[in-house]
Chain A
Amino acid sequence: MRLPGTRYQEHGWEHVRKLLGRCSLAVFARQAMDALLDPARRLVALDDYLDAMALQLRAPRHHAQAAMPGNSYGDTAGELACALLFELRAQPSCWDGLCAAVSAEHARHGAFWQGEAGHAMLRKKANDMYAVLRDKADADACQVATGRPCTPNRMYTYRMLDTAYGEIARLFANWRHCAAQVADILGAEPGLVSGGMPAAARQMHTIADCRAEWIIRWSATLERHTGAPGPLHTRSKRFASLKNQPEAIAAMLREIGEYEALSANMGALGQVRGDEDEAALWLEDYWRVVAESEAAHGVDHGAGDGADHGGEAAEAPVPDMLDALLAPSGGGLTHDGGDDGEDRDDDAEREFAAAGMAFDDGAGDEVSLSPGFVNQAEQVAAGQVTAILAGVSLPVRLAVYHALLGARDDSYPDAWLDPATGELPSLRQLAVLDGISMPTLRKRRNEAMALLSQAAARGADGKGQR
C-alpha cells in the first residue's frame, strides 16, 4: 500500500522488520539491560542502543538482508531501517514503550533476556516498538504531504483495509472454488454466484472499485469460512465502530486507490526524493518568513517580561545568535532540556564505567586517528554551524553531524573522515580525541544540538553568515 509521503507500508516492510529484529537482538546481547528498567537511565540507554544499531546495521552479515527492496520508491531495507533509527531518536515515546514492556516482563520473570527463550520475547518487543514507530513516521509524513491530520491508528486502518481488499480480490479471482464465501461477501444467493460473477465484482480492478459493504460482509462472515474472526468483528474494540460506517470505509478505500493510480506514474515517485539543494531553498524561505514576521510585529522575547530575569522557569528564553557566539566553551552552554540539571560530569563518569564494560568488545576494531586530525579537520570547518557552535570543540561538533546526518554523508569534507573507514570517527574515537568520556561527549553533543536547532529556528543568522 502507498499513501502520500509513506515509505514503510509496502511488502518490503517484512525485510526491514527482520533486519531491525536481528540487529536489536545482537545489540541487546551486549547492552546493559538494567538501564532500560530505570526511567532515569533510559535516554542514555537509547543513545547506546542507537549508536550500536548504526554499527550493527552495516555489519557484513546483514548485507544481504539490508540489500532487499524495502518499498517501490527504491529504498532498500537497510536504508529504511537506518531512517527509522533517526525517527526513533526524535520519538523517544516509542523507546519508553519498549522499556515499559521490558520492565513489565522483568517484574514477572526477572532478567528474562539472559535465557534462550528470552530472545524471542526481546525480539517481539523490538518488533512491537518498530511497528508503532513506522506507523507514526508514516502518519507524520502523510500529514506533511497532504496537510490533513493523520494518526498512527488511521495508518493501521488503511493497511487493514488494503489487506482486506487483497483478500477479497483473491477470493473473487478464485470464485469457482469459494462460491459460498464470495456469495456472502456480495450478499447474494450462493446459486447466483455459481451462475457467474455479478458485473460489479468482475469489474473490480483496483481498490477504488471495492465496495465498503463487501469489506464489512467479508469481515462479518470470515469466521464462518476460516474459523478466525474478521478484523472488523474481533472482540477488540479497535475497529468496532468502523463496521457501522461504510462511508468512512469507502472514503479510505478511494484514497488508497487514488494515490495508487497517481503514484503508478514514475514522475510522481521521483519527487519524493529530495535533492541536495532543497535544504538551502526552503531554509531561505523559512528565514525570510521569520524575518518578515518580526519586521511586521516586532521581536518578542518571551512575551516581554521575565525573560531576562530568569523569573519564569517554564518559559525558557531562546538564546539568540549573539548568545550563541558569546557562549563559553563546552559544558557552559545553557538550553531548556529538563534532563540535565545538576548532574555533571562525575555522574557521567560512573555511567561511562558501565557503558564501557558493556561495549568493550566493539572497541578493538578501531584504529586511533593521526595526531594532526583535529587541526586538519578544523581547517575545513567554516560556515553557519561553526559560527553558531563557536567555542564547542571540533570532536563535539563532529558528534553533532554524526547524530543529525549519520557517519557517512556526501557533504563531509575528507579531512573529517577516518581514512580507515571513509566515515566520521566513531563516537568513542571522538571522545578520545576530546579527552572526555562518552557520556560527557553525548551530553555536550546534545547541548550543542539544542543550541543549533534554536539558532536555526530563530533564523537571526539567516543572511549574515551565508
Chain B
Amino acid sequence: MKDDKVLEQALLARVARDDRLMLADAVLLAALDGSRPLAPAERRALQASPLTLRRFRHLALQRRAAALQCRPPAANDAWWDGSAGMLRAAASAAALDELVTDDGHWTLHFVPDEDAGWQLIVQLDAQAPFAGRLLRERTLLRVVDGGGAILLQGRLDADGECERPWPFELAPMAHFQLYGATFAIEPCQ
C-alpha cells in the first residue's frame, strides 16, 4: 500500500480559514533548487498553509517535468533529440517558402526548381546550443511530416545545410496541410 496519496490529502485538504499564498514563487523555487533554504518562519508558513503547499506542489512537479525534458542535465549545451514545428495558419494563402521549428533552431527552405518541382533545404542555425556537436559528429538526420513520412534524410554540410529534392508530386503547402500541418527534424538512431 503506497501511502503518498493519503498523506498528500492529509496535507492539502486541511481546514485553514482565510488561507492565501504565503510565500512568493521565488522563495519556493530557491528552496526547491537548494540555493536558499527556507527560513524558519517561511518553513512554518509553508507547513501551515494548504494553499501555499498546493502552489509548492505545482512548482515542484513543473520543475521535475522540465528537468525530464532537457536531460541529460550534465551536457546542457550539446543534447538534442529532435525539434518540431508546424505550419502557421497565417501562411495559408501564400506559397510556402520556409518553415521554422518551434525552438527556432531549424529552418526548412522550399525552392522551386526547373522541372516544376521543389528543392527542400534544411538549415541549422549556427547559434543553436547543439550546433557544434551535430556538425562535428555529422549526425544522420531526417525530416518527417505529421504522418511520419520521411521528406529528407542526410547529413549536414559544413554550412549546416542539407539539400534534397522534394519527394512528392503535391506541393509542400498542400502536402503539409494533408498531414496534420506539422513536421519534425530528428536524429536517425
Interface residues of A (CB under 8 A from B): 86, 89-93, 140, 143-145, 147, 149, 276, 278-283, 285-286, 289-290, 292-298, 300, 380-386, 400-401, 404-405, 409, 411-413, 449, 452-453, 456-458
Contacts and interface: CB of A to CB of B under 8 A. Distances in A.
Contact of A147 (B17, B25, B42, B46): B25
A276 B61 CA distance: 13
B90 interface: no
Contact of A283 (B7, B46, B47): B7
A293 B10 contact: no
Contacts of B4: 279-280, 283
A449 B56 CA distance: 21
A383 B14 CA distance: 21
Interface of B: 1-11, 13-17, 19-21, 25, 31-32, 34, 37-40, 42-43, 46-48, 50-51, 53-61, 63-64
Contact of A92 (B15, B47, B48): B15
A55 B9 CA distance: 21
Nearest to B5: A279
A385 B6 CA distance: 8
Contacts of B19: 140
A285 B32 contact: yes
Contacts of A294: 43
B54 A140 contact: yes
A282 B7 CA distance: 11
Given A286-B60, A293-B37, A293-B43, A276 B11 contact: no
Contacts of B59: 147
Contact of B3 (A89, A292, A384): A384
Contact of B2 (A90, A280, A282, A456): A280
Contacts of B15: 89-92
Contact of B47 (A149, A386, A458): A458
Nearest to B30: A289
Contacts of B47: 290, 457-458
A145 B9 contact: no
B39 A293 contact: yes
For A86, A91, A140, A453, the residue with the greatest tally of chain B CB atoms inside 10 Å of its CB is A453
A411 B5 contact: yes
A278 B51 contact: no
Q: Which 6 A-B pairs have the closest CB atoms?
A: A296-B37, A404-B9, A279-B4, A293-B38, A279-B8, A285-B60
A449 B15 CA distance: 11
Contacts of A456: 7-8, 10-11
Nearest to B47: A457
A147 B21 contact: yes
A149 B18 CA distance: 13
B61 A452 contact: no
Residue of B20, B32, B47 with highest tally of chain A CB at under 10 A: B47
Residue among B9, B13, B38 facing the most chain A CB atoms (10 A cut-off)? B9
**Most B C-beta atoms less than 10 A away, residue of A90, A93, A279, A380:** A279
Most B Cβ at <10 Å: residue of A296, A405, A456: A456
B40 A147 contact: no
Contact of B6 (A143, A276, A400, A457): A400
A452 B10 contact: yes
Contact of A297 (B3, B9, B21, B39): B39
Contacts of B63: 285
B21 A90 contact: no
Nearest to A86: B13
Contacts of B54: 140, 144
Given A90-B50, A144-B55, A404-B6, 18 more contacts: A86-B13, A93-B17, A140-B51, A143-B20, A147-B25, A147-B55, A149-B20, A278-B57, A282-B60, A282-B64, A289-B37, A297-B39, A404-B9, A411-B6, A452-B7, A456-B7, A456-B8, A456-B10
A93 B19 CA distance: 12
B42 to A, nearest CB: 7
Nearest to B48: A457
A298 B2 CA distance: 30
A404 B54 CA distance: 16
B10 A143 contact: no
